[in-house]
Every structure is written in structure tokens, then in C-alpha cells.
Structure 1
Amino acid sequence: MKVLIISNYFYPVNKIGALRINAFAKYFHLAGHSVTVLTEGEKDECVQWGGCQVHYVKDPVMTDAYLWRSISERKRWLPRRIAASLLRRVFLDEKRIWQVKAFKKARELFRQNVFDVVLSSFFPLAPHLIAMKLRNSGFRFYWIADMRDEMSKSPFISSNYAMRLKLHERKIVCRADLVTSVSKPILDDFRSLGCHDGFLEVRNGYDYEEVHDVNFQTCFTMAYTGSFYGSIKPDNWFKAFSELISEGMLPPDSVIKIVGNYSNLNVPQSILANVVLLKPVPHEEALRISIMETDVLVMVHPLGRKGVYSGKLFDYLATNKPILALCDTDDVIAELLKYTGAGFVACESDIGDIKRAIIKCYLLWKNKEVLPRNWDRISQNSRRSQTQILIDYLSAQNILM
């Protein structure tokens, strides 16, 4: 079976969205299928990656490396970023020019090969629009629209943008043969469009060997990997931490490590010496820090946005370090931690609740105890297992032969 994956994010991009697509390509290939990837790169080239043929198409407006250099240097109003912003306003997608180039390459690939399956990913919008245009051009294939998170219901876009985006959303969901996303609540929103019954939950996951050995730091250390953005902020975590230190409930040399954050943080004066800010690192190094240099792994997910696990939750899951999730205690994150026994949950807006959860983590460190996990249930959330859910579904539909 020949599979074409279309995504702006793929190796070597250091993002959760790229890791998801990497896994699809890797495990489809290991299952015996021919995989071609059409993605965005720093130059136009074709390379081999893990047994897959990867076609990189450069965005003439702004490459990913240029964007992240601009962000890290706090340079917002640069000509290329302004051009991308204008494209987003006009076409709902800053990758519009890339989309035109990538569609030409996709059409060329189809004329060289007959792909049985096309998997397109969101965000941005371009990959889905390329797949739809291939359909409109007469090419026949089974189309998987991988939404990952929300589309028009994303909390990070304006109401006007969401209204315009919903027109595309309905077309994509109704024309795709299968719609995938990371959780049932998000899939239910797509299913409400009432087009068909082809919906499948395929979560993000971890892609490393489960860690059963445990090391403890000399100072009690909590860590967060990734950037804070939008309404995702560490303010309540910082406040709870500072209060526990001032009350003598935590040792004064306790540490918080923030790995790879780009945004400005409001760190209370009383814990400035306790908060260590580390620059962005490759994913493998972030995992090493999580496993070797921390005692507790923290994730923050504000109330009001249902059905979002956050990719870092799965990155944390098999480290054998307790997870402290500041989130909605009635949503999917809490359900997963309860199911796997991998950590503690506290209401993100409740300082007292956060303090109680931190103390539970601290006592584990103090007593050199390991939180018992259900490893069989954890293994269900590896990227291999999650990709297998999709492979099994396609096989049952007689798509993958």
C-alpha cells in the first residue's frame, strides 16, 4: 500500500505536531507500507528518512528556522513576518504560497505513483487544502484528515477568523473519508457537522523506551518543558510554590526548571533564585532532562478548553517521574492520569489544590518513593500503539492491503 503524508511539520522540526507525523510515517513504514512525505523544509530537496521518501518544499515567504529565530530574538515586525501575517488575514493561512508550490509537487508525485492513501495534517490549513485540490483534480485515494486539535473552535483565534475558517472545516470534514483527532471530545465537535461516520481517536504518544529506574535530585526539582502561550501560564504554580517555601512546607533550595520557553514569565521576587530558565533544546535532550534532572514533571492546562491532552503529557508518561497536572479535574488529562496511575491532578485555578498536589510530589521525593504506575495501560499510549489503532482501522476497512 502506498501512503502520501502531507504536513508542514516533519523531521527535523522540534514540535509536537512534527513528532506525531514522524510517528505516522515511521510506523506505517514498519508495518510494510510504502510512505512518501511532502513537507516544508529549508530548501527544495528529496531525502530518505527512516525508509520513507521525504520531499521538502521551501516556503519562499518565511521558513520555520527564520520564524523561530525572529521569535527568539523578539523581532516581530520583520518584512517576511508581515507578509505571512497578511497571507493569514487574506487566505486564512500564512502558508498560501507554500501551498501552491507543494500542490505542484504533490501532483507530480501522483503522476509518478498511484497513492492509495493521503494523510493530511492541520495546523496550518495548507495540507488539507492540497489534499482537497488533489481530489478536485480527479485523483482517487482514501483521504485521512488528521485534525489533531480543534479547528474553528480553537481558543487561539479570533471569532471572525473562526467564522471564516469554519467554511473550510465543514468541507474538509465532509469530503475526507476519515477524520482523526487526539480525543473523543474534539472528535465529537467534528462529528456534529453530520457528514459521515468516519471518525477515529488517535492520540499523541511517547516514542522512547519506558524508564523503570528512578533517580532523585539532591534538591527537590520540578520541571516544565516547552513554552507558555495564550492562556497557558505558570502564575498559579509559581504562587503556590512560593507560598509553600515561605510557609516552610518545602525546602528553601527547591527548584523549578523551565525548559524551552519563549514568552516572558512573571516570576515572584521571592522565588527568583529558585526558578531556572533553560533555552530550547532538541526533543531528545528535553527527554533526557525530564528523566535525569527532575523529580516532578509539570504540565499546565487552563480551564475552559475541553479534550486537549497536550503533547507533553505523553512525553512525560513513561519517564517514571510523577506528573503534576494543573488542569480541569473533570477532563481527559485527569482521566488519563487516573487510568495510568502516573501522577496527580490539581485544579489550575485553585492555589490550595495546587499546594496540596505539590506536597504529595515532595513527599515522594523526600521518602525516595516511586509512584506505582500501570505500565500495561501506559504502553497503550506509545506512538507505535496509537498509530497501530489507525493501521488496524484502515485494514478493517480493506484500505491497507
Structure 2
Amino acid sequence: MESFARHLVDKGHDVSVVTTCKTARDGRLTEGTPDGVRLFELDNRGRLGASARSSSPVASVQGRSAGGMRLLKIKRMVDRFLGQLLDHRLLFAAQFASPFLAKEVKSALSEADIVVSSSPPWITHLAGWIAKKRYGVRWLADYRDQFSGNHIQIGSAFSRPLERWIDRGLLRSADCVSVISGPMKTYYEQFHGRVECIENGYDEKAFARIEQVVVDKPASGVPKTAFVIRYAGSISADRIPHALLQAIVQANRGEGAPFHVEFCGESGLLRSMMPKTFPEAQPFVRFVPQLGYSEALAAMLEADLLYFVETSDTSSLSARGVLTTKLFEYLAAKKPVIAEISEEALAAQYLRASGLNMVISVKSDEIHDALIRYRSGGQVLAPDDAFIHSLSRAVKAQAMEDLLGQLYTEGARTVVRS
């Protein structure tokens, strides 16, 4: 949404963003506000404030503190029963109906042609619903992840029907719904008659900027001391790299430069598993604290290979519809990708179309064979530049602008008829 806002301002539109004030516990704020975008940050009383600009890292190699882990366990216990229903940002949404809402925000909303609410969290759609009712604006409800029917935050038999009820009830007032994948589109078409798909895409301007400062690789013929495989993102229980680590251990028993893998991000779970589950892989694994956006892009561009892992669950539209921004950024980096996912996964379709799929498999022997081919120079990839460009933010932001233009025109016609 930051990229979309920047694109809209560059095209001459007036963009205001209303959000919460961020505290140090929300982590490091690594990106600035796009030039020309008006940013309104609300405190818990609906007044204008400012986020804490902490320079400390979001996460450390050691992961969460003992107290933080206890709080996380309590939260997970509550979430297992209430799903996503209980959200501490409910007060943020309620402020949109308050007479004490900051006058600057009231003015921005009353002058707006269209309000876009983007979730998660789902309470942004509650805020959009209130803005629609209070100010009579056109409303686009944008989902980057599903609220109801979510395959990760499953909730309980109590919370699931309530989440569907909320989704259905809120979207009755929406003028349009936007989502990030085909399966997610199919899901939300149960609740609304107009659902458009606009993927996350990658920021080509950011890549071009980082490419100018990334150090070039050694020239052909210079022997490598090790091949670096990088993964950017969190490691969770459904993203444990079993096949990759087994394949690396096997490949490094042979001749030639060894393969080393770096996990950049929150990976406390994997760190704790290494001594017992993957003892032989430990010499070839490095854990890196979570990186800022520009640092993460540079890490992708400097890697020899990129590793992608995601749920291969196909039991729900939510699971089948996962298309993370990381996938598009991997494609923009144009590095060979090792994907430990099912060949039936939606992400696998994008990888094959890009021409960057070095291997797509959940089997360690198939990943091992691909590593050996790569080391011997027998793995030749042919990136499809046209397909990769079609996933750029420039293209996706233009699709968003076109959609907003349609909604504005339809709203103007309604006013004329009435």
C-alpha cells in the first residue's frame, strides 16, 4: 500500500493515510513516508501523534525474551479460542465514529472521494465501514490476507462463524473488494459481487536503487569458497526447512564448494531445533537478525541462490491463495530459486512461469540433485523478463489506480442520478 500511495501521488492524486501511532514494541520503522502523502497517526484518544522512531533492530538472533515468550504463549491460547476477533486496535476503528476525532482526519475523510481500508488487521475494514456510513464516501475493502477462513489463525468453532458473519456484514456496504490471489478472490466472491485481484508485486524502483550499490560477484572462472543460499522471512512451524537442510548435508559431502544457508529474520524455532533435529547441518547454517527493507533486497541480490518455503496445504482457499511479497521480490532478484513447496501450490505456478525455478520439491533427494547440477554448472535458467515485469509495482499500482478511477466515476454518476 505504501507503493500504491506513492504511485497515486506521483500521478497527481491527493492521498491521506490514517494509521495508529507505532511504539518501540512494534519494531524498527525502516521506511519513510512517500513525498506528498499526508500521514495522520492517531493515539488512543483519536488525537494526532507521532510514532516512536526506534533505531533498534526488530528482532535479535536470540529471539524473544523469556517474558516475551510467556506473553506470546498467552496470546496464542486466547487466539486458539477467539481467532482474530480480539484485537487491541479495535479502539482505532471506534475513533472514526467519535466526535473527538482529530479535525484534520475528519476533514480528510469528508473531502475524500474514496476510502481504502487494507487488512490485516480486520479492524481497518471496520474503520472503512464507519467512514462509509459517516461521510458517504466510496469504499474499497482491500485484503492482503484473509480474515475469515484464515488457514493460519484458525480460531475455534466459536470464532470461525463469527468471523464469517463480520466479513459478510461489513462487505455489504463496500463498493468493491480487492484481494491478492485467485483463490482469495474465489473466497470473497461468497460475500460480495465485485472482487478484483491485484497482487502485491515488487518495487522495481527499490531494486534499481539497491542494484547500483550491490557489490558485483567475482568474474567467471574465480573459484567460490562457498555458495550462499538465503532465505528472507520468518521460520514458523509450517515452514521448517527439512528437505533443504538434509540436501545441503548430502551435497556438502561431495567435492566442490560447499553450500551455506542464511536465514534472515525471526528464526528462534529453527535455532532451538538445530542441535537435535539437524546436528549435521549446523556448520553450514547462519542466523541473521531481521533486516530492514533495503537490506533485505540487497541480501537477495548478493545471494547465489534463494530459498522459498511456504505452506503446501491445499485444504482451504486461504492456504491455496498464499502469494507473499517475498515471492515477487525473489523473482525480481532473478536468482535461481529452491522452492520447498508442493508442485501444485499457487506459488509454484509463478515460479515456473518466471523461469527461475531451480527446483520445486518437498523431497530432499530432488533438492540435492539440483544443488549438484548447479555446482557443476549444468543448471541453466532462462528468466522470462516480460512475465516478471508484469508483476512489478508499477503495473500493479496502475491496476489499483484504474480500479479507483472506475469507483470514482461510478460514484459521480450515482450523485448525478440522485
Q: TM-score if structure 2 supplies the norm length?
A: 0.77
Cα displacement string for residues 47-93 of structure 1 (whole angstroms, at most 9, x for unaligned residues): 96421000112469x99989967963343367899699879949532
**Which residue number in structure 1 is paired with residue 371 of structure 2?**
358
Matched position secondary structure for 1:255: strand
Matches within 5 A, 1:289-304: 289-292=299-302, 294-304=303-313
Q: Kindly name which structure, 1 or 2, has the bigger radius of gyration based on alpha carbons.
A: 2
Q: Aligned in 2, Cα 1:261/1:132: closer, same or farther, shift over 3 Å?
A: same
CA contact (8 A) 2:232 2:265 kept: yes
CA contact (8 A) 2:179 2:199 kept: yes
CA distance in 2, matches of 1:356, 1:289: 25
Give the drift of 1:371.
Answer: 2.9
- Structure showing the higher strand proportion among its residues: 1
Moved more, 391-400 or 77-86: 77-86
CA contact (8 A) 1:183 1:308 kept: yes
Give the drift of 1:342.
Answer: 2.2
Return the match for 2:231 from 202, 224, 246. 224
Return the match for 1:256 from 258, 261, 271. 261
CA distance in 1, matches of 2:103, 2:410: 22
Q: Aligned in 2, Cα 1:371/1:31: closer, same or farther, shift over 3 Å?
A: same
**Alignment size in residue pairs:** 367
Give the drift of 1:282.
Answer: 0.6
Q: Aligned in 2, Cα 1:28/1:81: closer, same or farther, shift over 3 Å?
A: farther
Give the drift of 1:41.
Answer: 2.4
**Which residue number in structure 2 is paired with residue 35 of structure 1?**
15
CA distance in 2, matches of 1:297, 1:30: 33
Matched position secondary structure for 1:284: helix
Q: Aligned in 2, Cα 1:131/1:222: closer, same or farther, shift over 3 Å?
A: same
CA distance in 2, matches of 1:147, 1:141: 19
Q: TM-score if structure 1 supplies the norm length?
A: 0.80
Q: Answer yes or no: is 1:115 the counterpart of 2:115.
A: no
Residue 236 of structure 2 aligns to which amino acid in structure 1?
Y
Over aligned residue pairs, what C-alpha RMSD do you find?
3.5
Give the drift of 1:129.
Answer: 0.5
**Which residue number in structure 2 is paired with residue 76 of structure 1?**
68
Identity of aligned residues (%): 22
CA contact (8 A) 1:301 1:328 kept: no
Matches within 5 A, 1:1-400: 21-42=1-22, 49-58=34-43, 72-76=64-68, 89=82, 91-101=85-95, 104=98, 105=101, 109-111=105-107, 113-137=110-134, 139-157=135-153, 158-160=155-157, 161-193=159-191, 195-196=192-193, 198-207=194-203, 208-209=206-207, 215=217, 218-246=225-253, 248=254, 251=256, 253-265=258-270, 266-267=273-274, 268-292=278-302, 294-304=303-313, 305-348=319-362, 350-363=363-376, 366=377, 371-397=381-407, 398=409
CA distance in 2, matches of 1:259, 1:186: 28
Residue 228 of structure 2 aligns to which amino acid in structure 1?
T
CA distance in 2, matches of 1:111, 1:175: 22
**Which residue number in structure 1 is paired with residue 27 of structure 2?**
none
CA distance in 2, matches of 1:68, 1:103: 33
In the alignment, structure 1 segments of 5+ residues that lack a partner are 1-20
Q: Aligned in 2, Cα 1:162/1:285: closer, same or farther, shift over 3 Å?
A: same
Q: Aligned in 2, Cα 1:36/1:258: closer, same or farther, shift over 3 Å?
A: same
